[in-house]
Amino acid sequence: MNRRAIVIGAGLAGSSAAERLAARGWKITLIDAADAPGQGASGNLAGVLRPLPSLDDNRLAQLTRASFEHARRHFAALTAAGQPLRWAQTGVLHLARDDGHEATQRRVVERQQPAPGELRFVERDEASELAGWPVANGGWWFPGGGWVDPASLCRANLARHAAQITPRYACQVAQIDRHAGLWRAHDGAGALIAEAPVLILANAAAGRHFAATAHLPLRAARGQVSHLVADAASVPQIVVCRLGYVTPAIDGLRSTGATFSIGDGDATLRAADHAENLAKLDFILPGYGSHIAAAELAGRVGFRPLSPDRLPMIGAVADATAVDPDRPARPLAEMPRLAGLYVINGFGARGIVWSALAGELLACLVAGETPPLADDLVNAVDPGRFLLRGRNRRVRGAARSLIDG
């Protein structure tokens, strides 16, 4: 196999895919419109690392649990290799929303019996002690969770096998096509940027702007995070979540938020969104932000790519023009694919926990290796799922603009 690939997008998704393929000896051309990695949705000061259990242990819970364990191993390996990853396993306290949710959290721990070092339920008094602040309810305590600087993770991924990766920053891909067995990326003037047998789309919601991926139901959600000036010794010293999150102080700033607005393309900071984040902060730590004025806050706006079922899209892109939505659906294994075209996308707000395992899964699929997940979870994140009959009928009449000479 000619082990060359183009990766479009240098955020958590693209850098993770590039790192895993580069570790296997692949040569990667990495293209991003920004002038450095991790400048889009992956550019917040800190993201939260923790799984998301559920009473029925559904696929989302299974995937986040497997991803959480894989991420911790990957981050430890990057750190051991001397890569510039900034993260801290401070622990994550996920407080119950109300008494009913608290009861559900207790049942999850009682039913699933996780190891105490992985997850345990803590009552309100212990939760208050962990947070360093009086809280309204108990909740889940993840001792191995914490915060991660996502842009530093992108940089660490790309630095680990830097000799295998050729970055092309400040470079906008306007069009892709396939010719003579090679995928080609072109700029707005039609000039060739790069070509390779494999093309991986990791460019957030822009991933559906190409004809081959127009059927993917990617959406962008605007999220505004607020930054609070904070002393390093101030509480909380852990990450605390409750319909929002607040981090420890990192370089003198504490992050809290975030807002969530689909279809909102405004990249400017808004005082109303800071006020919403302060209300969330008050729900997490009652009275904590009472002295803070929303109008005085700094922050950051990012746009997170989402899929309708809350699961990421990882795998080979289906050929939408070869799927008849009115005929019985084929199994995913039999769905026609566009040779050499892959997507790793739709992480939403879970890029920190999902990206490492997603990159490994994609690399296994590209290289023809055994996936690191059970078949049902591989199918659950397969981007072809949106072309199964009844899932998406919008592909009828899609025009194919790919040339395979």
Residue 164 lies in a domain: yes
Burial-class residue 391 by CB neighbours within 10 Å (0-12, 13-18, 19+).
Answer: middle
pLDDT in tens, the chain (405 residues): 689 999 999 999 999 999 999 999 999 999 999 999 999 989 999 999 999 999 999 999 999 999 999 999 999 999 999 998 999 999 999 999 999 999 999 999 999 999 989 999 999 999 999 999 999 999 999 999 999 999 999 999 999 999 999 999 999 999 999 999 999 999 999 999 999 999 999 999 999 999 999 999 999 999 999 999 999 999 999 999 999 999 999 999 999 999 999 989 999 999 999 999 999 999 999 999 999 999 999 999 999 999 999 999 999 999 999 987 677 667 898 899 999 999 999 999 999 999 999 999 999 999 999 999 999 999 999 999 999 855 444 433 333 333 333
The verdict on 297 and 373 lying in the same domain is: no
Q: Cβ of 276: how many Cβ atoms within 10 Å? A: 20
Q: Cβ of 1: how many Cβ atoms within 10 Å? A: 9
Residue 270 lies in a domain: yes
Residue 345 lies in a domain: yes
The verdict on 207 and 228 lying in the same domain is: no
- What total of structural domains would you count in the chain? 3
Residue 206 lies in a domain: yes
Distance CA 28, CA 197 (A): 11
The verdict on 26 and 128 lying in the same domain is: no
Query: Biggest alpha carbon distance in the chain?
Result: 68
The verdict on 105 and 238 lying in the same domain is: no
Range of the domain at 358: 4-42+152-218+308-387
The verdict on 26 and 169 lying in the same domain is: yes
The verdict on 212 and 227 lying in the same domain is: no
Choosing from 143, 163, 183, the residue where a domain stops is: 143
The verdict on 15 and 36 lying in the same domain is: yes
Choosing from 258, 285, 306, the residue where a domain stops is: 306
The verdict on 235 and 272 lying in the same domain is: yes
Write b or e for each residue in 176-210: b if 16 or more Cβ atoms lie within 10 A of its Cβ, otherwise e. Answer: bbbeeebbbbbeeeeeebbbbbbbbbbbbbbbbeb
pLDDT of residue 228: 97
Distance CA 367, CA 353 (A): 23
pLDDT of residue 1: 63
Distance CA 189, CA 326 (A): 39
Residue 53 lies in a domain: no
The verdict on 251 and 267 lying in the same domain is: yes
Residue 112 lies in a domain: yes
Residue 65 lies in a domain: no
Residue 55 lies in a domain: no
Q: At 263, which CATH number? A: 3.30.9.10
The verdict on 253 and 369 lying in the same domain is: no
pLDDT of residue 396: 36
The verdict on 332 and 210 lying in the same domain is: yes
The verdict on 302 and 315 lying in the same domain is: no
